[in-house]
Amino acid sequence: MKPRTSRLAAVAAMTAISALALSGCAGSGGGGGGEGAPIVIGSVNTISGPATFPEASQAAAAVFDKVNAEGGINGHQIEYTAIDDKADPASATAASRELVGSKEVVALVGGASLLECEINQKYYLQEGVISMPGVGVDTGCFNTPNIAPANVGPFNDMTLTLLNGSENLGIENICVLLEIAGSTLPAYQAGVDRWTEITGKEPLYVDATLPYGGSDYTPYIVKAKEAGCEAIAVNGVEPDAIGQVKAAQAQGWDDVQFLFLTSVYSENFAKALDWTAGGVHVPAEFYPFTEENEITADWRALMAENDIPLTAFSQGGYLAATFFVEVVSGMKGDITRETVTKALQAMEPIENPMLGTPYQVGTKKKHDDLTAGWPIVLKSGTNAWEKSADDWLRLDG
């Protein structure tokens, strides 16, 4: 199937794969769908808790508000509800039941949660509803047919950040420090192992005991320094990563290089640090938003208009909502959960310059095939990110 650009109208070729589209699906309706009826959409998000992602659903809401202001989708207004799961399994379960069962959403779009995919993936499959997170975080976001995140994800991102360190930067002794939520350790280890398979190299050591929201990362930094690490690859979110950099600064570790995931890529992070030793390096999951050009112009303008931070999280929410609108705009007839599921499973791959890999829901058994990142760097004293490569870094070479 040939990818097409995101500005072209989507074609929902429903009939050819209708049997596949409904396999394992118990849901039959959702969201009304008749003439003039609203299109009911929702998302489950971690907006409060140890690691938060509010920008994703905010960006998705901004896209839907803009569509509504322009007349909606084929005359249908969008009703969007974002629920906070508080990084709590029981709350994540309740949120999905409220959206899918009570509100009868036709799809879930633009969310970002620390844990909800793994908790709700079987329920979404049972109810025949598709989830398009703006930012997939836990393992359940990438190993099931009915969840298709708009982002690369932290596990492929871990492989990419190690590749960036060893192949682009030529670093020999890399240590891996991991913050583990739920059952993500095997997936992160698989990301490290994939790097070893590609390069034949291994980390100097792996420490998977870093806490989320830790008050002091000094013991972990001291251990890495004493071990002779030239760089540390860490999967921490923004506040934790700032603490880790400052702990290295306090130890006078002036030549260490930090290999972080896209979660730290924000203007706030850059402004918070005047010192980054040998540099903070990230393989951005989306085209670097700090580059002001036609690729990021529409997204930047919409985020500024709605006072939403410029982060990779808001890029993901924006893209997920944009992809959803494009596919549903090409549908004919009633817009229900069943017809939306068919359309998303029949969609052609969408190319967008903000992504290094085409996006597709389709009928795949899992969705871990976004595999490109754009290397960027934050140097000491600059307070500004800049590209450190001229093209995407890809796991497939």
Q: pLDDT tens digits, residue range 130-144?
A: 999 999 999 999 999
The residues facing 385 across adjacent strands are 378
Residue 87, SS3 per DSSP: coil
Give me the count of residues in the chain: 397
**Cα(371)–Cα(376) distance, integer angstroms:** 16
Over its length of 397 residues, how does the chain's per-residue pLDDT go in tens digits?
434 333 333 333 333 333 333 333 344 445 555 677 999 999 999 999 877 889 999 999 999 999 999 999 999 999 999 999 999 999 999 999 999 999 999 999 999 999 999 999 999 999 999 999 999 999 999 999 999 999 999 999 999 999 999 999 999 999 999 998 778 899 999 999 999 999 999 999 999 999 988 899 999 999 999 999 999 999 988 899 999 999 999 999 999 999 999 989 988 899 999 999 999 999 999 999 999 999 999 999 999 999 998 889 999 999 999 999 999 999 999 999 999 999 999 999 999 999 999 999 999 999 999 999 999 999 999 999 999 999 999 998 6
**In whole angstroms, what is the distance from residue 384 CA to residue 315 CA?**
18
Contact 25, 124 (CB under 8 A): no
308-337 pLDDT tens trace: 988 899 999 999 999 999 999 999 999 999
Query: Cβ distance 123 to 307 under 8 Å?
Result: no
- pLDDT at residue 396 in the model: 81
Phi, psi angles (nearest 5°) of residue 81: -125, 120
Instruction: Report the chain's C-alpha Rg in angstroms.
Output: 21
Q: How far apart are CA 126 and CA 74, in angstroms?
A: 29
Q: Which of 193, 191, 201 is nearest to 166 (CA)?
A: 201
Q: What is the spatial distance between Cα 130 and Cα 340, in angstroms, rounded to a whole number?
A: 8
* Residue whose tokens read 């700090």: 290
| pLDDT number for residue 34 | 65
Q: In the structure encoding, which two tokens stand for residue 371, read together?
A: 């595999």
